[in-house]
Structure 1
Amino acid sequence: MNSIQANNYLVHFNQNAYEALNKHLRENKYSNIFIIVDDQTNEYCLPKFIPHLETELAIEIIEFEAGEANKNIETCIEIWNILTELGGDRKSLVINVGGGVVTDLGGFVASTFKRGVDFINVPTTLLSMVDASVGGKTGVDLGNLKNQIGVINVPQMVLIDTEYLETLPQTEMRSGLAEMLKHGLIYDAPYWRQFSDLKSIVFDELDQLIYRSVEIKNEIVIQDPTEKNIRKALNFGHTLGHAIESYFLESEEKTTLLHGEAIAVGMILESYISLQKNLITEQEYREIKTIIKGIYDDVIFEENDIDPILELLIHDKKNEYGTIQFALIEGIGKIKINQSVENKLILDAFQDYKS
């Protein structure tokens, strides 16, 4: 597969990825290499990655505990201290090997250490390959509020090797699939409909689906790198999805949701809102709801869950001048950004989801 040109960097695939990495290491005089992983990718992915490195530079592994709960400034402080203790300098290279938590946090750590050192992302989950790999967003959560602290800063390159997916449980694969479904819904109706029968998709086809998903996100981001306009399309399903994810993360009575599980709910809710605003047809809404509910288990919402979720919308990064902004779909494959939605319509969407 050909490499994809993103904003000031390339996304490389499979064997081409390691050739590009080693060429980059030969051409740049780095002082040392720090590889940031979580405990899961340290065990399952790093043994595959390290043999591909062709370098005599000193390599240090920095590990933190896996999970969204550790995507915070405290983890960053620990890593900044380790980088300092191990002699990190402006010519160090950081390589982030892991899922979206690792690449988001590791990219932020690298972007702020010594006012910025080079970094490379090696996404190892389906979610990070199709979402976190493109766009240059880095950052951490503030308490239970998603991605409140961060910067947009692009890596030197992104390396996607789909063999890492063989180490993933099915729940993580489904989580990543949500972003691929979103890309179809907002941009490419034929791509969306390829997911109507998941049982017919084989692994070789998955490579091509991942490639197309990266293409879609990249085509949007190139038009609007700093999310002033069309890049807001990528927030479809995320306005409510992030609030749901945050609420389930902070509630001791709830089982924490994976990102994609929350976004799947968000896409159904925001599709219902699109229906009520006459942006999609009843038939399109039923198609979306049926396909997504056929992939993901229903999330149970009690009556006393809804108000706290709505309160979390206030902190959504897309809000402007105190108004909650939604990206809604205008037919399958098209998007309408900067849409205001009243609370009653959101409540109706939750009622419909539960029905």
Structure 2
Amino acid sequence: MQTIQANNYPVHFNEKGYEALNSHLKATKYSNLFIITDSNTNDYCLHKFLPYLETDLTIEIIEFEAGEINKNIDTCIEVWKVLTELGADRKSLVINLGGGVVTDLGGFVASTFKRGVDFVNIPTTLLSMVDASVGGKTGVDLGNLKNQIGVINVPIMVLIDTQYLETVPQNEMRSGLAEMLKHGLIFDKNYWEQFLDLNSIDFTDLDELIHRSVAIKNEIVMQDPTEKNIRKALNFGHTLGHAIEGYFLENTTKTTLLHGEAIAIGMILESYISWHKNLISEAEYHQIKSTIKSIYDDITFEENDIQPILDLLIHDKKNEFGTIQFALIEGIGAIKINQLVDNELIIKAFQDYKS
């Protein structure tokens, strides 16, 4: 499968990725090598990855407990301490082997340790393959506020190997699928239409679907690496989705949502808003709503849930001068950024979601 050239780094697929990594290790004089994993990828993926490595470097494994709840600065401090204790220096290489939590946190750790060391990302979940693999965003959450602390800094390379998906549960696969749906809705109507009937999809072609999703995100990011303009399109579904995800994460009476589960709700809500701002037709809205609801379980929102979710919107990273800005779809396959939306319309979107 053809390598995708991202912003100053390549995204390799399957066997080609390991060949590229080993060539890079031979050509570059690193002092040592650190592999950052979480408890899941340490158990299920590390033993698949290590045999591919061809190096005489000392390899150290740094593991932290899996889960979004551990994507915070406290975990970073522990990893920085371990790197220091194990003798990491500016010539060390960090390999992040895991899902989006690992690549986000590991990329941030590498980008800030001794003012930056080289790192490679090897995403092991569908979500991290189609989303975290491109764009150079690294970082951690601040309490229940998603990705509030971080930097944009690109890896040396990204390796996408779909064999790791054999270890991923179905709910995690659906979580990743949400970002693929988003890529179709904001950029490629034909790609979106491939998902209208999941029963008709030949998932033996999953590699091709992933490759197209990565290519779509990369095409957008290449135009706007630091998210000053069109890259905001990638936040469709995320303004409300992140607020919902954060609210459910901190609320002990709620079942924590996976990222893609929250984004799926966010895409329905923001499609409703797009319809009521005359950016899409009613038919397009109902197609989006019915398609997404056919894939994801309905989530119950009580009346007293809505205001706390609205309160979290003020912390969204797209906001400027205290104004909440949405990226909305303008017809399926196109986007309109920097859209202002009042709370009354957001509340109506929640009401419609529940109907």
Opposite residue 270 of structure 1, the aligned amino acid is E
Distance in 2, Cα, partners of 1:102 & 1:338:
30
Alpha-carbon distance, 1:200 to partner: 2.3
Structure 1 residue 203 displacement after superposition: 3.1
5 Å-filtered alignment, 1:53-64, equals 53-64=53-64
Give the corresponding residue for 2:226: 226
The CA deviation string for residues 135-171 of structure 1, in whole angstroms up to 9 with x for no partner, is: 0000000011000000000000000000100101000
CA distance in 1, matches of 2:139, 2:239: 18
How far does residue 262 in structure 1 lie from its aligned partner after superposition? Answer: 0.1
Which residue identity does 1:265 align to in structure 2? I
Deviations 1:21-68 (A, max 9, x none): 100100100000000000000000000000000001000000000000
Q: In 1, Cα distance between the equivalents of 2:58 and 2:247?
A: 42
SS across alignment from 1:257: coil
Distance 1:284 1:201 in 2: 21
Structural mapping, 1:61-210, within 5 Å: 61-210=61-210
Equivalent residue, structure 2, for 1:350: 350
With normalisation by structure 2, the TM-score equals: 1.00
The unaligned stretches of length 5 or more in structure 2 are none
Report the secondary structure of 2:248's partner residue.
Answer: helix
Shift of 1:205: 1.2
| SS of equivalent to 1:328 | strand
Q: Deviations over 1:312-351 (max 9, x none)?
A: 0011111001100000000000000000000000000000
1:189 CA displacement: 0.1
SS in structure 1 opposite 2:279? coil
Q: Deviations over 1:106-138 (max 9, x none)?
A: 000000000000000000000000000000000
Structure 1 residue ranges (4+ consecutive) displaced by more than 3 angstroms after TM superposition:
none
Match of 1:121, SS state, is strand
In 2: Cα distance, 1:182 partner to 1:259 partner? 13
Q: In the alignment, what sits opposite 1:40? A: 40
How far apart, in 1, do the equivalents of 2:87 and 2:199 lie? 50
Q: Which amino acid aligns with 2:296?
A: Y
Q: Secondary structure at the match of 1:155?
A: coil
TM-score (norm 1): 1.00
Output the amino acid matched with 1:157: M
Unaligned runs of 5+ residues in structure 1 are none
Give the Cα–Cα distance (whole angstroms) in 2 for the partners of residues 198 and 163 of structure 1: 21
CA distance in 1, matches of 2:73, 2:27: 33
Cα distance in 1, alignment partners of residues 197 and 233 from structure 2: 25
Equivalent residue for 2:328? 328
User: Counterpart of 1:240 in structure 2: which amino acid?
Assistant: L
Identical aligned pairs, as a percentage?
80
SS of residue in 2 equivalent to 1:69: helix
Deviation at residue 198 of structure 1 after TM alignment = 1.1
Letter in 1 for 2:287: E
Q: Map Cα deviations across residues 245-291 of structure 1 (whole Å, 9 max, x no partner).
A: 00000000000000000000000000000000000000000000000
SS of structure 1 residue aligned to 2:17 = helix
> Once the 2 structures are TM-superposed, how far is the Cα of residue 202 of structure 1 from its aligned partner?
2.6
Question: In structure 1, what is the Cα distance between the partners aligned to 2:139 and 2:22?
Answer: 27
Provide the C-alpha distance between the structure 1 equivalents of 2:203 and 2:118, rounded to a whole number of angstroms. Answer: 33
1:197 Cα deviation from its structure 2 partner: 1.4
Aligned residue pairs total 355
| 1:199 positional shift | 1.8
User: Match of 1:281?
Assistant: 281
Cα distance between partner residues in 2 of 1:203 and 1:180: 14
- Find out whether 1:272 has 2:272 as its counterpart: yes
- Residues 270-309 of structure 1 correspond to what in structure 2 (within 5 A)? 270-309=270-309
| Post-superposition CA distance 1:185-207 (Å, at most 9, x none) | 00000000000111222332111
Give the AA of the match of 2:147: N
Q: Which letter maps to 1:173?
A: M
SS in 2 for 1:337: strand
Aligned to 1:247: 247
